[in-house]
Structure 1
């Protein structure tokens, strides 16, 4: 599996591009703030055509660019050798955005639930919520749902705690450069990080729900599963089981 990840311009949110190989269809995971130029370069260099956007949850640092990416606006109009050279995606339909139903409301207002002072600061930097619109094709994902996108089979795991609708996605495929070293892949969003977990004191957070997700969803996973987190370095379930204090205390 071709796996390309890079941090967004703000909050160091990891955006991932997953595909079977160069020159094929791909999915884009969590297009955050300021990702469009780098994303466009990744798509051009690997000759990839996006077919869907996956959202692990609805916080602004993970969904900021979802609507322009789905519409193919600006730099992301350069999607493949045969794509339009500017503006929109031409006659291609808008890309679908996949999100858990409990976090869908955030796509229309990613600052929902943020206190007034912080909301004012974020709106001054990233734009008023009045200008936000959710993508035209939003598809709600259910816990345990098996999807095939860009030729990749992936299963959705509802893991609330960081937000009500936090999702993780597991795939049996592994990055090409890690063949033989890991057995499967987990896109963990802000549920699990290398050495830590997602905060529970942000809008939609619930510490009890997070502990339940870690205990019932994360810990049963195999040790050799690679973790692609929403922030920071990659890790494995086994490494986190051994050393992550938030898992060891459960």
Structure 2
């Protein structure tokens, strides 16, 4: 039996289905992780053919609310979080801003020899001792980000004696070890999750994710921290703001263009 009768008129049928499905998601009829009924069942629900249903589901998938996988079905995704890469807010503060309950689970902590890429990022000799921390950042009980942190072992000797789940790592580094962070360089690239990261993030292996690699520097340019953060596709949307520096042009009395202002940041 149809949930309600679709009406012929100026509003296309697929958009009517889209609006009702969107409302059902907002009302919690299906929760994140739930699989929606098959397309044919939804078509019976709305008393229409498969075409409006498919178009409505495709639109919700483009919005990041659903994931459609051939052979598995259509699943409800967790709401995407807006993560501003330029902000200095902590993970807990960001989650509170989104009305979510943050938590951190320490997966691993150890002192180990630095692999080549980590040693290079921290300007350390090959195989120098580093402190490795693997932490799962959780929002409302759901894994959101897997964070792998690498720190110079000699500089932060004794860090593992602190509570790294209930204390802010940033505050510990600043208040207990005198670290000063003045800038960070970050890169973002799409990857496929390996089994280890996929398991911790409750995702299937080879799922598309974003890898954010970042190095934080102190006031004299020395690298202090290197991190790898794994964010599964559909969980968050990354944003940043950049300043656009351009020449200011004005027209002189003779009508010719003249560069009357010195170019900002242009050498």
TM-score under structure 2 length normalisation: 0.22
Q: Which has the larger radius of gyration?
A: 2
Could you say which structure has the higher strand fraction?
Answer: 2
Give the alignment's TM-score, normalised by structure 1: 0.23
Structure richer in helix, relative to its length: 1
